[in-house]
Structure 1
Amino acid sequence: MKATAFEFRIRFFIHVVLIVLGFTVPWDRWLHLDSLGPNPHVWGMLAAHLFKLSPNVLTVGGAFNLLLALAAVCAVVSAALRTWASAYMGPATVHSSGMHGDGLVAAGPYRHLRNPLYVGIVIHVVALALLMPPSGAIFCIVTVVLFQLRLIGGEEAFLTQKLGEPYLAYCARVPRLFPALTPRVPASSARPAWAMAFLSEIYMWGVAVTYIGLGHRYNASILEQGILISLGVMLIVRALVPRRDA
């Protein structure tokens, strides 16, 4: 289950396509899987179900707030995790179109988890799923998780071939997907580049700020606009942040 070099090269585009499909659910024109009511997204439907299940505990507004808080936490955690990883890996490498195996980075989150960047994307998509129609949310989460597993498989095979025994020893000690609470390997000499890492993950932080700053308006359209603006800012910044050649 390994991604090809071509898939890795266009991974940003593939992620965007999967997320756009999750929001637009083009299959719903024929299958009619999702509601056409005033709140056809996961946020509204789950809030209504939570209220029905526990009317003496939660109000409808309380259910909306609970789901919003969970999504905001996911958005912040994904942004923080990816920024932490980018700071040590280097934004130029993170956004490169090719795989690189110059050396083993065992610093920052990489002492707890082998693939913090990919895990961060999955957590981010869970936050976005709040605003998608239910079938779109399921589609997006499942396909993004499968794509991350393909990317991980391809990258780990590449690094095993490139770095050999030191990387295999690292893999034996550090979990692939679920972080260890304590560092599993000694820290390497890598030094974080926080400013560039934050800039490279500006989209993630923009989404987090959107949920926190605009969620109280209970308007999914406004949140979607904030996400689009964050994406636009990221594309501008992405053009300015240096990237390594494949």
Structure 2
Amino acid sequence: MMKASAFEFRFRYLIHTVVYVLGFTTPWNKWLHLDTVRTWQWLAWLLARQGWLSFSVATNVVLVVGIAWAIKAAWLRTWGAAYLGSGVVQDASMHGDRIVAAGPYRYMRNPLYWGTFVHTLALALLMLPSGAIFSIVILGLFQLRLIGGEEAFLTAKLGEPYKEYCSKVPRFFPSFRPQVPAAAVRPAWGVAILGEIYFWGVAISFLVLGWRYNAILIMQGVLVSLGISLVARAFVPKPQVRG
């Protein structure tokens, strides 16, 4: 699998932000005179075109899917951060002092990256179609690089126990049942919600503002959520390195 460099991992949040900004602004649209409608409207039009739903009903269907994606992303990331530790999640360096076989990590190895990708699907509905495709493809590949880099790092640090864990727990799609016994890890839900407050803010923006049928309004909610999260990061405890 492709492996991200230390530079990519360190600046992963900035890279995500740059890709999202490009996805929302789509500068190539002005140069190439491409699409002018949001992906939300475009998908609703495709559904209505089949004759199964009216355009208004199709618009609501796409909105409900977007809400579900945004909530699922926030939950996955919070669930993972509660067991891994928000300080570790946000740290610029990789950590490999132990295997966290608890919470979502009993069902899948990468709930945080999977949550981020699902979050990208939700945001893509607010972009123009070309921006949506760009963001989904680029960030999908970037998630794979980050996963490859982390797994190589953890294999080198933890050796056979981690290889055995990987042989039992799926990398991407969660299993229906836990694949390994639960480790004695106490989840820190409060700090996890604080650390993932951006994702919850986006979910709330979709849930509350989506019914105004105004993508710009939801995008403003996304920006407010980002601003709040930058302040909240100052209150997330730094990770404790274990020997």
TM exceeding 0.5: yes
In the aligned structure 1, how far is the partner of 2:154 from the partner of 2:127?
A: 36
SS in 2 for 1:27: helix
Contact 1:97–1:245 (CA under 8 A) maintained in structure 2: no
Give the CA deviation at 1:243.
2.9
Which residue number corresponds to residue 62 of structure 1? 57
Give the CA deviation at 1:245.
8.4
Which residue number corresponds to residue 31 of structure 2? 30
Aligned length: 240
Which residue number corresponds to residue 49 of structure 1? 46
Which residue number corresponds to residue 14 of structure 2? 13
| Dislocated runs of 4+, deviation >4 Å | none
What do residues 28-69 of structure 1 show as CA deviations (whole Å, max 9, x unaligned)?
A: 12222213xxxx100111112211212xx3121101100000
- Runs of at least 5 residues in structure 2 that lack an aligned partner in the other structure: none
1:191 to 170, 186, 189: 186
What do residues 78-135 of structure 1 show as CA deviations (whole Å, max 9, x unaligned)?
A: 1001000000000010000000001010000000000000000000000000000000
2:148 to 140, 144, 153: 153
In the aligned structure 1, how far is the partner of 2:132 from the partner of 2:235?
A: 32
In the aligned structure 1, how far is the partner of 2:235 from the partner of 2:192?
A: 13
In the aligned structure 1, how far is the partner of 2:213 from the partner of 2:238?
A: 38
Structure 2 residue identity aligned to 1:188: A
In the aligned structure 2, how far is the partner of 1:99 from the partner of 1:125?
A: 23
C-alpha RMSD of matched pairs (Å): 1.1
Give the CA deviation at 1:202.
0.4
In the aligned structure 2, how far is the partner of 1:155 from the partner of 1:103?
A: 13
Contact 2:85–2:239 (CA under 8 A) maintained in structure 1: no
Which residue number corresponds to residue 82 of structure 1? 77
SS in 2 for 1:3: coil
Contact 1:206–1:227 (CA under 8 A) maintained in structure 2: yes
In the aligned structure 2, how far is the partner of 1:202 from the partner of 1:171?
A: 29
Change (3 A) 1:245 1:107: closer
2:217 equivalent to 1:216 = no
In the aligned structure 2, how far is the partner of 1:125 from the partner of 1:46?
A: 16
- Runs of at least 5 residues in structure 1 that lack an aligned partner in the other structure: none
Instruction: Map 1:94-173; keep pairs closer than 5 Å.
Output: 94-173=89-168
In the aligned structure 1, how far is the partner of 2:222 from the partner of 2:71?
A: 14
TM-score using structure 1 length: 0.95
Give the CA deviation at 1:244.
3.3
Give the CA deviation at 1:200.
0.4
Contact 1:107–1:189 (CA under 8 A) maintained in structure 2: yes
SS in 1 for 2:231: helix
Structure 2 residue identity aligned to 1:41: R
What do residues 155-200 of structure 1 show as CA deviations (whole Å, max 9, x unaligned)?
A: 0000000000000000000000010010000000111000000010
2:188 equivalent to 1:200 = no
In the aligned structure 2, how far is the partner of 1:244 from the partner of 1:99?
A: 11
SS in 1 for 2:27: coil
